[in-house]
Structure 1
Amino acid sequence: MNPAEEYILEQQEPFKSILLQLQTIIEAVVPDVEMLYKWRIPVFYSKGISICYLNQSKDYVDFAFWHRKQIDKYQEHFVLSNRKSVASLRYKSVDDIQDDVIVYVLQEQLRINTSPYAVIGKSRIKKK
């Protein structure tokens, strides 16, 4: 078992069930997805580019992703928490998960298909 799987399976309920449900949706939507353990949390990659990550924090699970400014729908669901480039959807129970929102966000991340670090880096480069 890899460390990302261990992370999910070691969580207390209801967080373990939330994480497993989100993992299932991600794996169903993202072709050739790879779940790695980075920053001590599960991070999902497609073609070497990070798509999203999962993090159990306090009393919720964060489904976090980059490129939020390029996503048109469901903005009212996003939690920004003073972040510049990452947004998340937060879940306190499996019943809170809305598959259509997650599927849309994942499809948009795949459409954008750019390394979040490249986008962040480009915004910091000053033009002369």
Structure 2
Amino acid sequence: MKSTEEYIIRQPEKYQTMLLHIIAVVEKLVPDSQLLIKYGIPYFYYKKKPFCYLASNHKKEFVDVGFAKGFQLNKNQEFLIGENRNTVKSLRYFSLESINNKILESVIEETINLYN
């Protein structure tokens, strides 16, 4: 079993469903990306560079979708959280229903364009 699968299986169902949904969206938009475990969490790589991580925060009850070049993004700033970080900005989801696919897809696409 892959370590990314192990990470997901260890999560409570609430987080599993959000993680699986987000992974499906990323893999659909960036089919040549690679999902690995780095720093103990799932991290998507594109062109051998990290671009997006997924982290469950059980204490605060959300899934953080962090973008490595988040501060270089121009669109969707009202939805991106910087929170005392220098390069990473993230989208936060508290439930599967709170995931806005249009915003998620837009942020992923803009991020990928930074690597081209």
Normalising by structure 2, we get a TM-score of: 0.92
1:47: which partner in 2?
Answer: 47
* Alignment: residue pair count: 114
Cα contact 2:14–2:95 (8 A) shared by 1: yes
The percentage of counterpart residues that share the same residue type is: 37
RMSD: 1.2
User: What stretches of structure 1 move > 3 A for 4+ residues in a row?
Assistant: none
User: How far does residue 68 in structure 1 lie from its aligned partner after superposition?
Assistant: 2.1
Larger Rg over CA atoms:
1
- Name the counterpart of 1:108: 110
Taking the aligned partners of 1:41 and 1:69, their CA distance within structure 2 comes to: 21
Q: Deviations over 1:15-74 (max 9, x none)?
A: 110011001101101131110011000000112011200000121000000222322221
> Which residue in the other structure is 2:95 paired with?
93
**8 Å Cα contact 2:71-2:88 kept in structure 1:** no
Distance 2:93 2:31 in 1: 24
| Contact 1:61/1:92 (<8 A) preserved | yes
Aligned to 2:86: 84
Structure 1 unaligned blocks of 5 or more = 115-128
In proportion to residue count, which structure has more helix? Answer: 1
TM-score under structure 1 length normalisation: 0.84
Residue in structure 2 matched with residue 22 of structure 1 by the alignment = 22
CA distance in 1, matches of 2:7, 2:40: 8
Asked whether the 8 Å contact 2:35–2:42 carries over to 1, the reply is yes
